[in-house]
Amino acid sequence: MKRNQAGFTLIELVMVIVILGILAAVAIPKFVNLSSQAEQAAEDGVIGGLRSAVYTYSVNMMATTGSEAYPSNPFDALKVPPSTYNSTLTSPSANDQWTFNSSTGTITHRRKNGTDQTWTYSSSAGTIQ
């Protein structure tokens, strides 16, 4: 008597596992890179917002006082600073935190991987480099 058996053979299961392993090996680095690119784009957005806010502050000062002026802290020009901005620290103490050091003019963002990205703000020229 012959029985009807349903299911996969061992070879078929091994092949599926190998294919899934290859797909995972290719996809995981892409997703890791995508995450760092997204974080960099978010930083660019915050810095762009700061530049725009500093310029708007300057135009406002020109219109109200007749002289050009820039804020001593660029985050003060924002209507709503980033939720992770800490105004009391001069350098970040946690990941995804923004700080401004007024003595050096340094804007710092600590990325989620623990590295710091910095920009320099000139309160005399209103520029962020």
- Residue 77, in any domain of the structure: yes
Assigned domain for 12 exists: no
Domain hosting 72: range is: 38-128
> Looking at the domain assignment, is residue 7 inside a domain?
no
11 within domain boundaries: no
**Taking a C-beta distance cutoff of 8 angstroms, is the pair 127, 121 a contact?**
yes
28 occurs within a structural domain: no
| CA 78/CA 23 separation, integer angstroms | 44
Per the domain annotation, does 10 fall within a domain?
no
Q: Which residues pair with 97 in a beta bridge?
A: 110
- Asked if 42 and 62 touch (Cβ cutoff 8 Å), the reply is no
Distance CA 42, CA 29 (A): 20
Question: What's the number of domains the chain is made of?
Answer: 1
- pTM for the full model? 0.77
Let me know if residue 67 belongs to a domain: yes
Question: Residue-wise pLDDT tens for the chain (129 aa)?
Answer: 566 777 889 999 999 999 999 999 988 888 878 888 999 999 999 999 999 999 999 999 999 999 999 999 999 999 999 999 999 999 999 999 999 999 999 999 999 999 999 999 999 999 999
Give the pairing of strands 127-128 and 116-122.
Answer: antiparallel
> What whole-number distance in Å separates Cα of residue 54 and Cα of residue 62?
12
Here the tokens at position 128 are 């962020």
